[in-house]
């Protein structure tokens, strides 16, 4: 594909998807130069759209990581201490506790500084 400046969320997602497929290419591989270009285009898009990426909601970060790893709520339940806790956390009915944050950080590799951010609970 001939890449140009990323202007839309759709362009950005397409670039991320392609980069994920070719990320492990080595110098000399035909995809290596494309990966280098995609990194620059993605970084530029993120810099220009900084407000989108500035303060991600901790629960959305967890959901995103779960989606990346094909995890279900039962997988999160094993991390946070039960199905009801996992459901309440994912539905923003319960706040993350410090012990949950530590386990999620260790198990899912999400930086603790993203998990400790404030977010609104749903009544």
CB-count burial class (<10 Å; 0-12, 13-18, 19+) for 118: exposed
Evaluate if residue 52 carries a pLDDT over 70. Answer: no
Provide CB contacts within 8 A for 88, sequence distance 6+: 94
Instruction: Map residue 98 onto helix, strand or coil.
Output: helix
Identify which of 44, 14, 4, 69 has the alpha carbon closest to the alpha carbon of residue 22: 14
Domains contained in the chain, number: 2
- What whole-number distance in Å separates Cα of residue 58 and Cα of residue 71? 17
**Same domain, yes or no, for 87 and 101?**
yes
Q: pLDDT digits over 8-29, tens only?
A: 888 989 999 999 999 888 998 8
Predicted confidence band of residue 63 (pLDDT cuts 50, 70, 90): very high
- What whole-number distance in Å separates Cα of residue 18 and Cα of residue 78? 32
Residue 120 lies in a domain: no
Residue 4 lies in a domain: no
Range of the domain at 95: 55-115
Which CATH number is 111's domain given? Answer: 1.10.260.40
**Same domain, yes or no, for 64 and 24?**
no
Residue 74 lies in a domain: yes
Predicted confidence band of residue 123 (pLDDT cuts 50, 70, 90): confident
**Same domain, yes or no, for 68 and 110?**
yes
Question: Domain boundary residue among 38, 53, 68?
Answer: 53
Evaluate if residue 53 carries a pLDDT over 70. Answer: no
Question: Domain boundary residue among 18, 34, 53?
Answer: 53
């Amino acid at each position: 594909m001939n890449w140009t400046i990323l202007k839309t969320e759709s362009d950005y997602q397409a670039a991320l998807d392609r980069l994920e497929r070719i990320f492990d290419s080595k110098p000399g591989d035909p995809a290596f130069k494309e990966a280098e270009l995609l990194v620059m285009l993605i970084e530029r898009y993120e810099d220009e759209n900084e407000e989108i990426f500035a303060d991600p909601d901790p629960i959305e970060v967890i959901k995103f990581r779960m989606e990346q790893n094909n995890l279900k709520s039962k997988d999160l339940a094993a991390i946070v201490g039960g199905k009801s806790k996992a459901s309440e956390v994912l539905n923003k009915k319960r706040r993350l506790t410090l012990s949950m944050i530590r386990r999620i950080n260790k198990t899912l590799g999400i930086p603790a500084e993203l998990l400790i951010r404030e977010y609104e609970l749903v009544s």
